[in-house]
Amino acid sequence: LWNRRAFDKEITRIYNSNRGILFNALILADIDHFKDINDRYGHPVGDRILQIIAEIFQSSVRSDMFVARTGGEEFAFIVEGASEDATYEIAERIRALIEQTPFTSSQTGMNYGTVTVSLGICMASEAENPEDLYTKADRALYRSKVGGRNRVTRHSATGGRAGKGWLLYKKD
């Protein structure tokens, strides 16, 4: 996975290039209750869960997508050439894959329970620059957390059913 510095460079490069019109969205993902995992099972287990999730992220998206770890338990996906619906489907697939993954120690067989992620989406057309895009995707991610976690929320410049400026997608 790329790091935050590489992510910042890539998103700026795309916005400043002719590819900017193909750049459709930013997805931010954050592991739910990650501090609790570290507190309960220890940092080595938390680190291993981070590795597994990073592997799932890398293997579950198109090879041309840029995936980065942007913070402790936060990840970013730059989605190019996809519609809003396709971007939502990518985020929902990621969410479901993490939720369905058994997190069990290969050494002890201990089950660490269900791990989930919350995701926020912002379409590039809703943002004036890379910083605005990140801020809006981060707000959508925050709404996923506040809305109960383990869900995908899309920022919307035109408003939506879940409140002014937000559309909330809840898992079935």
Out of 73, 89, 99, 126, which one is annotated catalytic?
73
User: 25: which DSSP letter?
Assistant: E
Bridge-based pairing of strands 117-123 and 152-155 is parallel
CATH dotted code for 4-169: 3.30.70.270
Cα gap 167→165, rounded to integer Å: 7
**Does the active-site annotation cover 80?**
no
Query: pLDDT digit string (tens) for 15-32?
Result: 777 665 556 899 999 999
Cα gap 151→116, rounded to integer Å: 9
Give the residue, 108 or 153, on which the prediction is more confident.
Answer: 153
Query: pLDDT digit string (tens) for 109-168?
Result: 889 999 999 999 999 888 888 999 999 999 999 999 999 999 999 997 435 333 344 444
Sequence ranges of the domains in the chain: 4-169
Lowest-confidence segment of 34-38, 46-50, 68-72, 128-132 by average pLDDT: 128-132
pLDDT confidence of residue 16: 77
pLDDT confidence of residue 162: 39
Cβ atoms of residues 90 and 53 within 8 Å: no
Share of the chain above pLDDT 70, in %: 87
User: The whole model's pTM is what?
Assistant: 0.88
Cα gap 20→118, rounded to integer Å: 26
Cα gap 67→75, rounded to integer Å: 7
